[in-house]
Amino acid sequence: MAIKRDKHVWLRAVEELPAYPAVLMPLSEGGWEAVFPNLARVRAWGPDKDTCRANASEALTFELGQMIVAGDARPRPSDPDRLIPDDEEPPGTELVAIGPDRATLKKRLGLTKREKGGAMAATLGRLGRK
C-alpha cells in the first residue's frame, strides 16, 4: 500500500517531535548502551558516553522518521520523574533526555529547500575569475 507523501503534515510532525528519556548504561565489556523505555526497538552503542548519546540521537531520528513516513502514531515520552530504576542496572547508569536531529530528519524526508546550484555551482562560478 502506497503512503501518501504530505510535506505539510510531515513538517508539522517533525517540528513537534519531543525529546525522549533514554537510559545510558556502562557495559561490562566496555562501552555504553542506550535504550529508550518508550521505543523498545531503538538501541544504540558507543565506545564512550558522548558517542553513545550521538548514536542514540541518530537511531531515534531514524525510528521517528520511519513512523512519520508510515503514518504511525509516535509514543508520548514518559515523564522521567515517574520512571523506576531497575535493580539490575549497573553502577553509573544515567537517565537522560535525547532529542531527534530535526535538521537531518527534514533533509532525509525532503522537507528542506535545496540551495540553488549548491557547492559545485559555487566552485564552478569561481573558475573563470582572476
Q: pLDDT tens across 61-116, in order?
A: 999 999 988 889 899 999 888 888 887 889 999 999 999 999 999 998 888 876 55
Question: What residue has cell string 531515534?
Answer: 60
Instruction: Name the pLDDT band for 49 (thresholds 50, 70, 90).
Output: very high
**Is the CB of residue 50 less than 8 Å from the CB of residue 60?**
no
d(CA 99, CA 129): 45
Q: In the chain, what are the domain boundaries? A: 7-126
- The answer to whether 34 and 52 are in contact (CB under 8 A) is yes
Report CA dihedral (9, 12, 15, 16) to the nearest 10 degrees.
Answer: -100
Eight-state DSSP code of residue 101: -
Flag whether the pTM goes above 0.85.
Answer: no
Q: What angle do CA 49, 54, 59 make, to 5 degrees?
A: 120
pLDDT at 88 (0 to 100) = 85
Q: Which stretches of 1-130 are DSSP H helices? A: 7-15, 49-70, 102-108, 118-126
In CATH terms, the fold of domain 7-126 is: Double Stranded RNA Binding Domain (3.30.160)
| pLDDT, average across residues 33-52 | 96
Amino acid type, 84: I
